[in-house]
Chain A
């Protein structure tokens, strides 16, 4: 009994992680698959080909701790829940190592297996793990089925769906595009915000619909772009102009209200 205790005792500070089978890359991949401590535990039990109702707790605790150590050495953040499970396993192990009360030992039915709670938890978890597998399969099948897209109707036209964030995204795209080009800025006549708004209004009213990307492309310096961007915000706020996005992640258009789909 004493030697068993020695064999499986763990010193958290000095224990060196063991690489269990294969290269560390392979393990890293495997470790990423565990959805939680129960998942890892189930895996270890199956790997040991152990009976879930009679878990060789010392052996499993040992491999569990090796895995956690390995995760740490591979810089995978070990969730607190994994540590909690490690503590639970060690607690169960120590309970099992304690000699049973000789008086109680004769009455086998009275003896509560310290593993029972964990086994129940594992069995319950396993059901939901299988259910998750079933959901995965269902969604895979479902992705092979295609439905009709939305037909243009008053309910689903995409007006208003462009938010300030969508605008900023477009703006960022433009700025990025110009970042490399503009290496030298030559002093030039700056266009004022008022002029910019005037120009923009003229264009929208002339073209009825104006792609934001096209509009921004006319400008080359960062300053001009910022002025143009503010002009867009301003014109949408104050005038009869709407921002319209025809498809999710699609281009954004400036549109005069009361023209087009209505």
Chain B
């Protein structure tokens, strides 16, 4: 991989030593990063990209942000997104109908209301145990948890050191990917929902 770099650099500017090359290799870093993001089937981190390209993480990060801007400005059919801590090339939502028509796919099965509620409790309260989920939802969530585990949206996070040592659950990387989140801090704060529901009540009265 370092072979490519030196080769390319030397063709462009043969007089300068490779070590002083951040400015002139920026376009190259962007190009290689774009190629790798294209072939990667899951979000790829700046760190891994950096290791492959042979540049430090910050350089790669900056290059991809620049690349992302280019895609934005072009307003084409593709976008570069930061998902689950990595970078991903994806189609724009605007064209989903046509893409779906081509792929002949239908939206995949939605989660049940119970599963979504359970998932929201786990996402905000993790690591969280089954009794703790029951306390909030007021209903057993065993089958919802089973579904979420099967769909790999949640993972077990060890036992809680309390009576009965109940299993704790948290969200997975697949959760971030499937819900288009970069990390958990992308989720709106749970307190924001409180304001929402109280406003809704006020309006009702």
Contact = CB atoms under 8 A, between A and B. Distances in A.
Given A38-B139, A131-B190, A145 B117 contact: no
A124 B140 CA distance: 17
A144 B193 contact: no
Given A123-B197, A145-B96, A151-B39, A135 B119 contact: yes
A46 interface: yes
A261 interface: no
Contacts of B91: 145-147
B116 A38 contact: no
A176 to B, nearest CB: 25
B205 interface: yes
A206 to B, nearest CB: 35
A19 B49 CA distance: 63
A7 interface: no
Interface in A17-70: 33, 35-39, 46, 49, 51-52
Given A46-B204, A131-B193, A136 B89 contact: no
Contacts, number: 129
Given A139-B110, A145-B91, A121 B138 contact: yes
A230 B103 CA distance: 37
A4 interface: no
B58 interface: no
Interface residues of A, number: 45
B193 A142 contact: no
Interface string A195-237: 0000000000000000000000000000000000000000000
Nearest to B144: A35
A188 interface: no
B41 A81 contact: no
B138 A135 contact: no
Nearest to A51: B205
A261 to B, nearest CB: 17
Contact of A150 (B41, B124, B138, B181): B41
B171 to A, nearest CB: 10
A144 B96 contact: yes
B167 to A, nearest CB: 20
B93 A135 contact: no
B119 A132 contact: yes
B201 A35 contact: no
A131 B89 CA distance: 27
Interface in B88-104: 88-93, 96, 99, 103
Given A51-B205, A131-B193, A139-B110, A146 B139 contact: no
A131 B194 contact: no
